[in-house]
Amino acid sequence: MSGPSDPVRWLARELPELVARGVLDAATAERLRDHYALAAERRRGIRSLALAALGALLVGGGIILLVAHNWSELGRPARTVIALAPLLVAQALAVWVVLRRGGSAAWQEGSAIAVVAGVGTAIALVAQTYQIPGDLHGFLGTWLVLTLPLVYLLRSTAVAVFALATSVYWAATMEDGVPAAWLLFLAALLPVIAPALRHGWRSDRERLLGWSFALSVVAATPLLVVDLTKAAWLPALGIVLAALALEGWQHPGDDPRWRARPLTLVGTLGGASLAWYLGFEGAWRWGWPGRGDDWQDGAQSWAVVAVLALLLLRVVHLGIRAARQRAWPEATLAALAPAAVLAWALRLATASEISLLFAVAWNAYLFALALIFLASGLRDERPGRVNGGLALVALVILTRFFDSDLPLLARGAAFVAVGLGFLLANRVLERRLTARTGGAMP
Amino acid sequence: MKPRPRAALLVALAVAQLAVPAWAILSNERILRHGETFRFRAVPVDPYDPFRGRYVALRLAPNTAAAEEEEGAAISWGDTAYAPLGRDAEGFATLGPLRREPPPTGAFLTVEVTDRTEEGWTVELPFDRYYLRDDLAPDVERAFFALAADDDAAPSWLEVRVLAGRGVGARLYVGGRPVG
């Protein structure tokens, strides 16, 4: 049976009858009207915000592409006007918005994106006109520094997302050395990220920021350490992914939906993916121990190491807390960080002949993580965890079986066993939930 | 924060945002108007910048120089040095011995010392690209390769203006003809 096409309108029509029949009292009906009116208003707000941001983004992107064409027919004075005019217009608009439309998120986001595009256009066109040397890294860094304050002055989530993405791009375009200044870009954004980090990612804008934050931290981590020392990506990713998962667990917020848990999801899926990769023997054999360079001394290297060390301490602290609260999936995820550091140090100190031992240990870790998630999901009646645990079990078995020389019969039996496990676990969970809700499935 | 202080801070940020391109415009205009002209032999290739468009990346010659004898030991990799400029018999630029201090007279370029070879110190010149209309750059690249295969072809060069140690690329010539 399909529901009404517009449930809110349907409810508005039904309410008088429900009150008349005594199903609801008038006050409750009024509260429901208010609640859904607000929800509709919020949806309109989000639509308007998205359209304003998209419009400004398309106009800005179009201007940059037009500029990139390089209008060599125009003289330097004309190009100077073209370079600065969009920026001046956008800046004037932004000041007007603050003074006259300070309460409108759509106006603030739209004008902030216009200023970002205006700054990018101005510095690109001037560089082009005067043949100014300098690579993309320098261009992106200048653009970021000049636009980052808009996050606060125009309360712009779109600029915060732009800054997170562009800072990763900036780190990726650094030719050599440790791009530790990325940590400063991140620190400059922490005042907008930290509140949501503590109370959970409640609004759509906060959720967008949360996902951008989690993904950019993961993307930037290998870039930060690629020139630090040999294979530094391994301990760094282990620490960062565990930290994301544990911070997400520590501050879950009150919205249980997956899209409101960016840190938990990115940390958990990323951590499982890292463990899965390390379960291949080749990950420990090829290129070790010569992968990467020797320790690159300098203040930037030490800054990155200090941040990673602090994060490791935080992960260990939260891991101990999780174990005390018998939150075993989180405690196991916390173990990823010290395990990655230990494995990295041991592998650097040993020969490639024992690569298999490392691979076996990581398979055991991933298998344990899968079973703990499965058991926790069954105990707490959380279908997402049950299926996640089973998916991990399946991943370990499928990939390891394709990776080895086991006979087809053994592989077939294992696949059937995993499949039956899926069916059985979901059946058990369904029966429990049915019993708990008195027959009405949630 | 109240609207007025926020608007005031936004105006301050706007001034900083305008100052960066404005400073670049003014300082480069000054060099283009008052700088001395030199020609550097050029080897162009054709890359792309997603924001600033298509450009011809340039490998310029000369990019090596000796160091002044009494100061040679003091110059090392990563240093900023000063290269006096001259002209050879064909009118192309030459780099004089690198100095730790700007020469008291004559044109010079501020360069970064990047390597040491048998020919002397390799330096990074302050021009590495020439932006072109995006439909023109591939043609320039093709013309360059055709000319490079022909020993009798006219040379390619970048004309630069130099003032007080800074240089600005003014025009690129491929096979003796101006492009862009």
Calculate the average pLDDT of chain A.
83
Q: Which of B29, B53, B129 sits opposite A131 (nearest CB)?
A: B129
**Residue scoring higher pLDDT (A303 or A348):** A303
Weakest mean pLDDT among A110-119, B5-14, B65-74, B162-171: B65-74
What does DSSP assign to residue B154?
Answer: P
Angstroms from A275 CA to nearest CA on chain B: 36
- Tokens 């021009």 appear where? B127
pLDDT at B53: 67
Q: Measure in Å the smallest separation between the Cα of B2 and chain A Cα atoms.
A: 9
A190: pLDDT strictly greater than 50: yes
And the tokens for B128?
């590495």
pLDDT at B116 over 90: no
pLDDT higher than 80, residue A265: yes
CA A234 to chain centre: 19
Asked if residues B166 and B110 have their Cβ atoms less than 8 Å apart, the reply is yes
- Phi-psi sector, A283: left (phi>0), alpha (psi -120 to 50), beta: alpha
Six token digits for residue A133: 């040397």
Indicate if the pLDDT at residue A280 is higher than 80.
yes
* Confidence (pLDDT) at A209: 93
Residue type, position A149, single letter: P
Q: What pLDDT does A152 receive?
A: 94
Helix-helix angle A328-349:A299-324, to 10 degrees: 140
Summarize pLDDT for B34-59 with one digit per residue, the tens.
988 888 887 666 566 666 667 777 88
Whether the CB-CB separation of A219 and A213 falls below 8 Å is answered with no
CB contact under 8 A, A154 and B10: yes
What's the pTM value of the predicted model, to 2 decimals?
0.76
Q: Do B52 and A128 touch (CB under 8 A)?
A: yes
Strands (E), A190-329: none
**Residue written as token pair 């037009």:** A66
| B24: chain A residues, CB-CB within 8 Å | 123, 126-127, 130, 132
| Residue whose C-alpha is closest to residue B112's, from B120, B124, B102 | B124
Quick one: which of B44, B174, B40, B59 has its CA closest to B107?
Answer: B40
Q: Of A120, A163, A372, A196, which is closest to residue A268 (Cα–Cα)?
A: A372
Three-state SS at A100 = helix
**Which residues in chain B (43-62) have CB-CB distances under 8 A to chain A?**
49-55
Q: Is B5 on the interface with A (CB under 8 A)?
A: no
What per-residue confidence (pLDDT) applies to A1? Answer: 43
pLDDT at A32 over 90: no
Chain A: give the shortest CA distance to residue B174, in Å. 17
In sequence order, the β-bridge partners of residue B163 are B166
**Radius of gyration from C-alpha coordinates of chain B:** 20
Q: How far apart are CA A79 and CA B32, in angstroms?
A: 15
Q: How far is CA A299 from the centre of its chain?
A: 28
Q: Are A291 and A227 a contacting pair, CB within 8 Å? A: no
pLDDT value, residue A439: 47
The set of residues, in sequence order, having a beta carbon less than 8 Å from that of B128 and lying 6+ positions away, is A133, B57, B58, B60
Torsion of CA B32, B34, B38, B44, to 10 degrees: -10
Q: What is the pLDDT of residues A72-124, one digit of tens each?
A: 667 788 888 888 888 999 999 999 999 988 778 888 998 999 999 899 989 98
User: Does any CB of chain A come closer than 8 Å to the CB of residue B127?
Assistant: yes
The answer to whether A294 and A230 are in contact (CB under 8 A) is: yes
Instruction: Let me know: does A151 contact A186? Beta carbons within 8 Å.
Output: no
3-class state of residue B131 by DSSP: strand
Q: Which residue has the tokens 């916390």?
A: A334
The predicted pLDDT at position A69 comes to 65
Read off the tokens for A120.
Answer: 């990018």
Distance (Å) from the alpha carbon of B132 to chain A's nearest alpha carbon: 6
A381/A84: higher pLDDT: A84
Cβ atoms of residues B172 and B57 within 8 Å = no
Block residue for tokens 């020969």:
A351
Q: What is the pLDDT of residue A264?
A: 93
In this structure, which amino acid lies at residue A311?
L
Q: Is A177 strand, coil or helix?
A: coil
**Residue A27, SS3 per DSSP:** helix
DSSP string covering A295-326: P--SHHHHHHHHHHHHHHHHHHHHHHHHHHTT
Distance CA B125, CA B112 (A): 7
Residue-wise pLDDT for B125-174, tens only, equals: 888 888 887 777 778 777 777 776 677 778 888 999 999 899 888 888 88
Neighbours of A216 (CB within 10 A): 23
Tokens 């005031």 locate to B8
Tracing tokens 């340039």 back to the chain, one arrives at B58
> d(Cα B112, Cα A134) in Å, to the nearest integer?
13
> Which has the closest alpha carbon to A94: A119, A70, A109, A111?
A111
Which residue's structure tokens are 């076996």? Answer: A360
Mean pLDDT across A127-150: 89
Q: Provide mean pLDDT across the span B99-123.
A: 87
From CA A163, how far away is CA A37, in angstroms rounded?
34
- Residue A256 · residue A265 · CB < 8 Å: no
Q: Which residue matches tokens 């949501």? A: A196
Model confidence at A129, pLDDT cuts 50, 70, 90, reads confident
